[in-house]
Amino acid sequence: MMFAGLRTGEVLALQWQDINFENKTINVERGLTIEPKFNSEGKVIKRITIISETKTTCSKRVVPMPDILINALNDYKQRQSQISNKGKVDLLDKHCFVFANDDGTFRTYSGTQKILNRFLKKYKLTEYNIHFHGLRHTYSNMLFEADQNPKVIQSLLGHKDVKTTISTYNSVDKSYFEKATNVLNEQFKELDNKKIVENIKDDDIDKIIEMLQERKQQELQEQEYEREQKKKKKEKDFEM
């Protein structure tokens, strides 16, 4: 989830045939969901866990795997191989769930949550409010902070609308958008300076110097303003 951006249900429904170690990709085809069962009065009488198609059509996708994830899965395969040798179920069969129980059945949300809770408690991480879906957010944020195209991130996360990707799955502050604005500013500034050089005349030297000085002064004022804004933000964060 942290290094491929999959949903919890997509992770639990993964089969070994979906992992392509040679091409370094994960093929997302299905997901684990909880389906309610109703009585004749329309009341929920029970909920069952099933494997079905992905959340949306857009959710079907091929996701690249970074090396850190490939290495982790290879280590995990060795663990599953040891369990398979002791039991009757081949946990490395291509149709077997990647994160199966020892008997080959798929894990449920609640069962997997208990595993995570034990892990967090064992390593004294309970105070950091770590949960499964947060790992997917982390994946998205890492890509945003690396200045990746939002449309690319949308595709990797399997979102139908890029608005969901931008508004929900990233906690990047306004500096991300300021970077984009600064790129445009620099490009137009470069064009503007070229125009000055092309039209330069001897009797315009003083005017040009004066104009450049004004620009420099304006830049200094902008930098001072940014420093003040950052200072105010730190003070506000401290108060909160």
pLDDT tens digits, one per residue of 176-228: 556 655 655 665 565 555 555 555 555 555 565 666 667 667 777 777 777 77
What are 235-238's contacts with CB under 8 Å, separation 24+? Answer: none
Write out the two tokens for 130.
Answer: 């770590």
N-to-C CA span, the chain = 30
| Whole-angstrom distance, CA of residue 140 vs CA of residue 170 | 6
Domain borders along the chain are: 8-128, 175-239
| Whole-angstrom distance, CA of residue 154 vs CA of residue 137 | 12
| Entry pTM | 0.67
Q: Give the total residue count for the chain.
A: 240
Residue whose token pair is 């070994």: 16
pLDDT in tens, 66-88: 999 999 999 999 999 999 888 78
> What single-letter DSSP state applies at residue 163?
H
Q: Is the pLDDT of residue 239 over 50?
A: no
Write out the two tokens for 48.
Answer: 């069952």
Residue whose token pair is 């909920």: 47
SS3 state of residue 110: helix
Residues assigned a catalytic role: 7, 37, 133, 136, 159, 169
| Whole-angstrom distance, CA of residue 97 vs CA of residue 32 | 11
28: nearest Cα among 10, 3, 48: 10
| Whole-angstrom distance, CA of residue 188 vs CA of residue 89 | 65
Task: Report whether 58 contacts 160 (CB < 8 A).
Answer: yes
Task: Report whether 189 contacts 168 (CB < 8 A).
Answer: no
